[in-house]
Amino acid sequence: MYLTGFQYAGITAPKLALSIIEHNKDPDTPEWIKLNLNGLILFNPCTYAEECDAHFEFNKFTVKSLKDHFFINRETYDDYTSHCTLRTPSCDQAEQKIASDFWVTGADLRNLYMECLHQPGDYGCIDHIGIDTFLNVQAVKEDLNADTSIKWNLCNFTISKDYERDPDGSLKAYHTLLREEHNLRIVA
């Protein structure tokens, strides 16, 4: 089994992998319930919470990536870096310029070389119709032992609002996961 995801999965997937390793080490865990974890496959993963700051989409890491992939020019990047050491109105203006310049390209911020696929509910460029449909099938909910009266949605804003980020992110988790005895593959 591989754990997969993008952006914030770089925080959550390694922590889940550590939990799976601990679960598998527990002598009380029967063999048939142990999970065969082979590794992680992550796209544009964050390793600490600031990288995937939910408060603003065009954070310093994203803006640098846009510059490195030639979506914004050096002048725009320099303007951003000189105004955005703190959250100020001039920083907001610099971010708005980058956002407007980027969105006209039609690219997906999470996969710069793909077209943005807007979906109903519009959570950015995430193609979620298939998973939404699948997870709302009554039989699937029953098989997952999920509350069948609840409709699956891509984002749970209650969890997002109450979630406390680990300021250390997942860097320590990667050091543990990459130990030879775990024999895991990590592709990012």
d(C-alpha 108, C-alpha 44), whole Å: 12
Name beta bridge partners: 42: 5
Give mean pLDDT, residues 51-55.
58
pLDDT greater than 60 at residue 55: no
Cα–Cα–Cα angle for 177, 182, 188, nearest 5°?
45
Give mean pLDDT, residues 70-74.
91
Give pLDDT, residue 31: 92
d(C-alpha 37, C-alpha 182), whole Å: 9
Helix axes 89-103, 60-68, angle to 10 degrees: 40
> What are the tens digits of pLDDT across the range 113-145?
877 776 555 566 777 778 888 999 999 999 988
Give pLDDT, residue 121: 55
Name beta bridge partners: 4: 41
pLDDT greater than 90 at residue 92: no
Cα–Cα–Cα angle for 121, 107, 113, nearest 5°?
125
> What are the tens digits of pLDDT across the range 173-187?
888 999 888 889 998
Q: Which residues, 6+ apart, have CB-to-CB distance to 23 below 8 Å?
A: 29, 34, 35
Q: What residue segments make up the domains of the chain, in order of their start?
A: 1-48+169-188, 56-110, 117-162
More reliable by pLDDT, 133 or 167: 133
d(C-alpha 101, C-alpha 114), whole Å: 16
**pTM, 2 dp:** 0.62
Give mean pLDDT, residues 73-101.
88
Query: In this structure, what token pair is assigned to residue 175?
Result: 């050091």
Torsion from C-alpha of 46, 48, 53, 58, nearest 10 degrees: -50
